[in-house]
Amino acid sequence: MKRYQLRTASGPLRSHLFRYHAEQWVQKCQEANVEPRGKEGEAALAQVTGRSVDHQAVAQVPFTQENFLDAIVKFIIATDQVFFSSF
């Protein structure tokens, strides 16, 4: 595996992982108990597991402050949100 650097972007990385390393990507995500997200993640799961994207239902999680924070963090990571701060 290569290391992230300051100039490393995650969008092209996800596309690369899906296109050339889908099986290894899904395996490493499962080992780390991380769900591959986004279009590429869902497609990689479908390709590796044989389940269609439509059948990859996620169980509903009860609302708590901790679950809310976890959901926000996952959203920021999965959608490559960028925040600029000018201090």
Q: What is the pLDDT along the chain (87 residues), one digit of tens a residue?
A: 566 666 666 667 777 877 888 888 888 888 888 877 777 777 888 888 877 766 555 667 889 999 999 988 888 887 776 666 665
Domain assignment present for 87 = no
Domain assignment present for 70 = yes
Domain assignment present for 38 = yes
Q: What predicted TM-score, i.e. pTM, was given to this entire model?
A: 0.47
pLDDT at 79: 76
Burial profile 12-33: b = 16 or more Cβ within 10 angstroms, e = fewer: eebeebbeeebeebbeebeeee
16: containing domain? 10-78
| Phi, psi (degrees; rounded to nearest 5) at 85 | -125, 130
Domain assignment present for 4 = no
Our count of domains for the chain comes to: 1
Token representation of residue 18: 């899906």
pLDDT at 65: 96
